[in-house]
Amino acid sequence: MKDTNAKEFIIELEKHRNEEDVEKMKRFIKNSDSSTLCMGLHMRTVFQIAKRFMETPLTEVEKLLDSSYYEVRMGAVSIMDYQAKKKQITESQRKSLFDFYLRRHDRINNWDLVDRSAPSVIGIYLIDKPKNILYDLARSNNMWERRTAIVSTHAFLKKGEIDHTFRIAEILLDDPEELIQKAIGSWIREAGKQNEKALKRFLNKHVSTMSRITLRYAIEKFDKETRRFYLSK
């Protein structure tokens, strides 16, 4: 019988605690809230344990999200990600994950916690539904909600749908947060892999006003001459 409760999950994580890596992990999560603690675990270890606990009910996952330990919260969103990707998941279960993510976004509060779960939990759920919530999140005062808005569109990109990525990127272009600027550049770059002309149209329209961080991420896969062209604008 599988262990499917928060207590047993944390016990498994504790077995791999590495005090020597705690400071390194703290530097990695510097944008998280100041009360966050670390065990010093490698993310691969967290993912492997989370996969074993993927049947954990959301009532127990919520207990994990409430933990002060970063690796425990990463385990929580990883469990959510694995659940959202299950082939046999029902629409009701997918809706429960979606609602839960949004309700507890206060604990999904670092860039990689968002990136680990938003595409599958939020993006996949919205593929065949109205996308209004993403535009609301893009205008949120919470930077992690804004990152969720753009990162969730990864699910649409995998289906060949690029419009929402560019539209949300346009809303976020003046965002002052570096982690949002990087996300914008990364995601429009991915959209550009499917339609380079659309990316260039977006850049031609906004290159003079977008942050240099966004621009550099967006043009990363262009040839040297094209990169030089946009950087000279």
pLDDT at 201 over 70: yes
pTM (global) more than 0.85: yes
Element (H, E) at 109: none
Helix axes 6-14, 58-65, angle to 10 degrees: 50
The predicted pLDDT at position 31 comes to 65
Q: How many Å apart are CA 61 and CA 53, to the nearest integer?
A: 10
The predicted pLDDT at position 1 comes to 42
Mean pLDDT in residue range 116-135: 98
DSSP, collapsed to helix, strand or coil, labels residue 69 as strand
Residue 228, number of CB atoms within 10 A of its CB: 11
Angstrom CA distances, 182 to 72, 177, 218, stand at 26, 9, 9
Strand ranges in 8-69 using DSSP code E only, listed in sequence order: none
Mean pLDDT of the chain: 94
The predicted pLDDT at position 156 comes to 98
Q: How many Å apart are CA 150 and CA 168, to the nearest integer?
A: 6
Rg of the chain, C-alpha, whole Å: 19
Angstrom CA distances, 199 to 8, 156, 160, 195, stand at 47, 16, 14, 7
* CB distance 146 to 175 below 8 Å: yes
Start and end residues for every CATH 1.25.10.90 domain found in the chain: 129-233
Q: Which residue type does 2 have?
A: K
Give percent of the chain above pLDDT 70.
Answer: 96
Exposed/middle/buried for residue 230 (C-beta within 10 Å: 0-12, 13-18, 19+) = middle
Angstrom CA distances, 225 to 126, 219, 228, stand at 38, 11, 5
Query: If one looks up domain 129-233 in CATH, what number appears?
Result: 1.25.10.90
**Which among 146, 134, 153, 144 has a CA at the least distance from the CA of 73?**
144
pLDDT at 153 over 70: yes
